[in-house]
Structure 1
Amino acid sequence: MDSAADAAKAAPNFAPGGSVVYFDGLSSRRRLVAIGLADRLEIREAEGAVVAWPYADIRRADSAPGVLRVSCLSAPPLARLELRDAALAAELAAHCPKLDENRVDGRSVAGIVGWSLAATLSIIGVVLFAVPLAADRLAPLVPQAFERRLGDAGEVQLKAMFGGRVCKSEAGQLAFSKLVNAVREAAGLDPSVQSAVLATPVPNAFALPGGRVYLFEGLLKKAESPDEIAGVLAHELGHLKHRDSIRELLHNSGSSFLIGLLFGDVTGSSAVIFASRSLLTASYSRDAERNADSFAIEIMHRLGRSPRPLGDLLFRVTGKESNSSFSILASHPLTEDRLQRMKDEDRPPSGPPLLTATEWQSLKSICRPGAAL
């Protein structure tokens, strides 16, 4: 008798299924079910199949007002039960001791905020320290062939941005080649270095990966001597020698560039990053700029010329073009400091002039009307 009574007491009393919806987590079919509350929650489908959920595994899930939606830790991850009858929902909730264990309360909010702050600080740490360190280590490992391909893509972007007009008057080109070759040989770079003057009023110069140096007409017009332009070329060749473009590209674009490196994406996202971050903003670090200045000073001394004209040109540009976003001074050390450094390294000329007066005038007029191609 007692055992029969106990069995009857343990048997679930199934509530009608009109207000209970069940998703088994294996298909998207919506099922109307009946549920029974005994030593565990039992879910009975019309076909007679019964699914049992331990009360301790049941958790509240997000739901609309007036609906109790629950899941079960021991059921398929997408399984859900929805109760729309308020009294039945309250009765089920009373049986589930851990129903709200994963709800967002004040303590969990604090935890979420704490973890979010920790994640933010981690990201900042990666950006400020890990990425620059990785860039310094990886830059020397980038293959020269890939660097040349990247330079090809950057050259297309550069010419598109500034009209693509290369100045090529015959006499001016001969003078420019003479000046570039003198600086290049003193820098110990091979003849594969390419250079050109672009017909644009922007006072700037760029060094692209793969051995390309571009001087802009705007900077040439502000120059008053071959030594000033030679100093600029030496500075840009310093960036090539140190592979600063690759280092800054790795620093600025991080994983985007590395993915491009692995999958050969040179003309796509990597070229866009290079054009927008390296070309437009000339965003070399201050350390890279100081190192390029040191290189220029050394090269000018090797040529028997003073580096001071480079400082004079930079100071002349910043006095007239201080608000230009394309200025050669963008992201560079203070011009006054650079000029003082060049003055400190000033020496009387011990080598021959880099260009004759006639050659200098030819170079100054390299972009005369009709000479740009």
Structure 2
Amino acid sequence: MDLTSPDSDPGPAGAAAPANATPVEPAAPLGGPAVYFDGLSNRRQTVTIGLANQLVMRSADNFVSWPYEDIRRVDAPSGTLRVSCLSASPLARLEIRDAALSAELIARCGHIDQNRMTRGAIARIVGWSLAAAASIVAVVLVVIPFASDRLTPLVPPTMERHLGEAAVVQIQTVFGDKLCTEAAGQAAFAKLVTALRRPAGLDDGIASQVLDTPIPNAFALPGGRFFLFRGLLDKANDPDEVAGVLAHELGHLKHRDNLRQLIHNGGSSFLIGLLFGDVTGAGAAVFASRAMINASYSREAEAAADGFAIEVMHKLGRPTRPMGELLFRITGKEDGKRPSLWASHPLSEDRLARMRAEDRPPSGPPLLSAEEWRALKGICK
């Protein structure tokens, strides 16, 4: 006799669980705590993340989800996984410090390291950086000097004078109240410059001034302007010493060394300005700031200017030895803390020896009388 009912079928499909069996609980959701930055504010949010079909971030007042394929790793301290999302705010970040949870998220994100630099990429960046640095060095050491030598003869005299005038404006801004204007001293200085200009083959467009500063220096500007500092007059013992130094500066003007140095020092700024007709901008500023303090030419340019000064003094029948002794006196007594004449190219024994070797007994009249020399020495009083 069948004692079972349809509702109590003991077959496998409807078998009742044993009375002592342990209930099976559903699997716990994957997730845990993390820190979230939304990229729109600096607020730090503590969130609970869940790993389902997307990365989900929940807090009391926020709900955010990120697709796994958009998640990328971001540099972070050791022990922290920091990620961003391509489809979220560019500055949004999620930080996970639980190692197991981090490993699970990494396993689900197939492209998490797609944008990270490999060692090969880093090596390529370093290589290109070194190549860029080498190109800059090549421009400074080769291209700009080559360009300055080639461009200098192409600059018309009118542009060179315009450039010199722009530099004079800057110099007068600095030394505007230090121009030496004593009448007798100015007359003596003009006489000395005129006496040197004629054998130097320079026209009467040459302009010169004395500045009341203790620096023993003299420098020339493009376009026929040069300045003498009172400090050099203070160290000079006679007109021939000053005349030799001024003849040296006229040599720089004659050879256009100042313009060549401007193009070299101004580099690309001057070249671009020259290309667009702006020769009173950055290049002039670079030149004026350097020229006011230190007449820094190459050794070849200095040697050529020395030769020019020797030639001028010979034409005037005046000795060359005093010029060398003044320069040696200046460089020998400088303490290294104050800019001096040709501080970047110290006067060597060979240079002084050249002045002495080229020296001749005076055969021409004195360039200044004793009274005119006293006036020149006192031009800044």
TM-score (norm 1): 0.71
Distance 2:266 2:160 in 1: 19
The question of 1:186 aligning with 2:199 is answered: yes
Q: Where do 4+ consecutive residues of structure 1 move more than 6 Å? A: 18-23, 34-38, 41-44, 50-53
Query: Structure 1 residues 181, 314: closer, same or farther in 2, change over 3 A?
Result: same
Equivalences for residues 242-261 of structure 1 within 5 A: 242-258=255-271
Q: Which secondary structure does the structure 1 equivalent of 2:265 belong to?
A: helix
Q: Could you tell me whether the CA contact under 8 Å between 1:314 and 1:335 is conserved in 2?
A: no
Aligned to 2:246: 233
Aligned to 1:344: 357
Q: 1:35 Cα deviation (Å)? A: 9.3
* Alignment of 1:166 onto 2:180: yes
Per-residue deviation at 1:336? Answer: 1.6
**Identity of counterpart residues, as a percentage?**
48
How has the CA–CA distance of structure 1 residues 319 and 88 changed in structure 2, closer, same or farther, with 3 Å as cutoff?
A: closer
Distance, in Å, in 2 between the alignment partners of 1:19 and 1:225 is: 85
* Cα 1:198–1:115 shift into 2, 3 Å: same
Cα distance between partner residues in 1 of 2:332 and 2:374: 21
**Closer/same/farther in 2, CA of residues 194 and 77 from structure 1, 3 Å limit:** farther
Letter of the 2:348 partner, please give it.
T
**What is the deviation of 1:180?**
0.8
Query: 2:369 matched to 1:353?
Result: no
Cα distance, 1:235 vs structure 2: 0.6
Q: 1:24-80 deviations in whole A, cap 9, x for unaligned?
A: x9x99x9x9x99877xx7999xxxxx99775xx8642335775542355xx799486
Q: 1:328 to 1:79 in 2, by over 3 A?
A: closer
Question: How big is the shift at 1:274?
Answer: 3.1
State how far apart, in whole Å, the 1-side matches of 2:138 and 2:89 are. Answer: 35
Partners of 1:364 and 1:186 lie apart in 2 by: 25
Q: 1:127 and 1:354, CA in 2 relative to 1: closer, same or farther beyond 3 A?
A: same
In structure 1, stretches of 5+ residues that fail to align are: 1-13, 45-49
| Counterpart-to-counterpart distance in 2, 1:85 and 1:217 | 72
Return the TM-score normalized by structure 2: 0.70
Alignment of 1:80-229 (within 5 A): 82=94, 90-103=103-116, 112-142=125-155, 143-157=159-173, 159-160=175-176, 164-170=178-184, 172-229=185-242
Cα pair distance change 1:201/1:80, threshold 3 Å? closer
SS of match in other structure, 1:280: coil
Q: State the 1:165 CA deviation.
A: 3.0
**Residues 325-336 of structure 1 aligned to structure 2 (within 5 Å):** 325-336=338-349
- Structure 1 CA distance, aligned partners of 2:187 and 2:95? 87
Instruction: Give the superposition deviation at 1:177.
Output: 1.6
RMSD over aligned Cα, in angstroms? 4.4
Is the 1:154–1:208 Cα contact (8 Å) retained in structure 2? no
Residue correspondences, number = 343
C-alpha contact (below 8 Å) 1:173/1:363 kept by paired residues: no
* Unmatched segments (≥5 aa) in structure 2: 1-28, 58-64
* Deviation, structure 1 residue 295: 1.8
Name the counterpart of 2:13: none
Q: How does 1:31-46 map to 2 (within 5 A)?
A: none
Amino acid at match of 2:344: S
Q: Deviations over 1:335-369 (max 9, x none)?
A: 3221112223234445x22525x3x431333353x
State whether residues 196 and 215 of structure 1, in contact with CA within 8 Å, keep that contact through their aligned partners in structure 2: yes
Amino acid of the residue matched to residue 177 of structure 1? A
- State the Cα distance separating 1:264 from its structure 2 match: 4.3
